[in-house]
């Protein structure tokens, strides 16, 4: 592990529009000989590498919330803490919804589709424990699914289908006020991706 890895991770987390909007950090870790951990930290305004083995989260007043000692399984908001990097031929890491919209359709990270889905996540999906857990789980499984898809020769067609069958379908349902159906569509598609690629 290196300081540059952790510093790059911190910068990437802080640059995400969803972090800038809600100031939340989801930490996932699954030690080889231990139980997985999924932690949610709120009111985070600064993410900073401390040295070559830890990252600290700070609140609005500059007080340290927590110091995280990551391993090779650790992600913060879907961004790997170690071995960070984006291969230009492989696309974005971390979020398959973003990859489908941004990398394969040339849309900006704050495009209508992604902003609508983020509002849906931060609004409707926070109204039940099941949906809150689904939102947290996304940060855990999405980076692994993206990595797997990006290794496929037909990744472009996979993301194109994802955009049509997941992104556009959910957007249409949300716009019609059919939030429960949109969630079920998202849930079923995500579970299918998990079963196929993980």
Residue 163's pLDDT band, with cuts at 50, 70 and 90, is: very high
Does any domain span residue 91? no
Q: Which of these three, 20, 46, 80, is where a domain ends?
A: 80
Does residue 75 share a domain with residue 51? yes
Contacts of 157 (CB under 8 A, 6+ apart): none
pLDDT tens digits for range 168-188 = 999 999 999 999 999 999 999
pLDDT at 126 over 90: no
As given in the structure block, the two tokens for residue 56 are: 């600290």
Nearest one of 183, 76, 172, 163 to 120, comparing CA atoms: 183
- The rounded distance, in Å, linking the Cα atoms of 58 and 48 is 8
Averaged pLDDT for residues 5-26: 85
Q: How many structural domains is the chain composed of? A: 2
Does any domain span residue 86? no
Does residue 179 share a domain with residue 114? yes
Nearest one of 143, 96, 97 to 120, comparing CA atoms: 97
Contacts of 132 (CB under 8 A, 6+ apart): 125, 126
Within its chain, how far is the Cα of 111 from the centroid? 16
Q: Which of these three, 47, 80, 113, is where a domain ends?
A: 80
Does residue 107 share a domain with residue 191? yes
What's the predicted TM-score (pTM) here?
0.60
Does residue 180 share a domain with residue 149? yes
Does any domain span residue 89? no
Does any domain span residue 23? yes
Q: Which of these three, 49, 80, 111, is where a domain ends?
A: 80
Within its chain, how far is the Cα of 191 from the centroid? 16
* Residue span of the structural domain in which 161 resides: 96-197
Does residue 109 share a domain with residue 46? no
């Amino acid at each position: 592990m290196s300081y540059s890895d952790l510093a790059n991770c911190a910068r990437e987390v802080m640059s995400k529009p969803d972090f800038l909007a809600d100031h939340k950090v989801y930490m996932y870790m699954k030690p080889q000989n231990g139980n997985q951990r999924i932690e949610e930290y709120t009111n985070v305004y600064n993410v900073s590498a401390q040295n070559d083995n830890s990252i600290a989260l700070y609140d609005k007043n500059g007080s340290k919330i927590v110091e995280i000692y990551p391993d090779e399984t650790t992600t913060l908001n879907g961004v790997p803490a170690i071995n960070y990097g984006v291969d230009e031929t492989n696309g974005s890491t971390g979020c398959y919804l973003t990859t489908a919209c941004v990398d394969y359709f040339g849309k900006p990270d704050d495009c209508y589709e992604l902003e609508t889905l983020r509002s849906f996540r931060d609004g409707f999906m926070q109204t039940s424990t099941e949906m809150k857990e689904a939102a947290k789980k996304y940060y855990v499984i999405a980076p692994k699914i993206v990595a797997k898809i990006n290794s496929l020769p037909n990744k472009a067609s996979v993301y194109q289908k994802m955009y049509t069958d997941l992104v556009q379908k959910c957007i249409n349902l949300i716009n019609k006020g059919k939030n429960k159906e949109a969630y079920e569509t998202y849930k079923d598609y995500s579970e299918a991706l998990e079963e196929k690629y993980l």
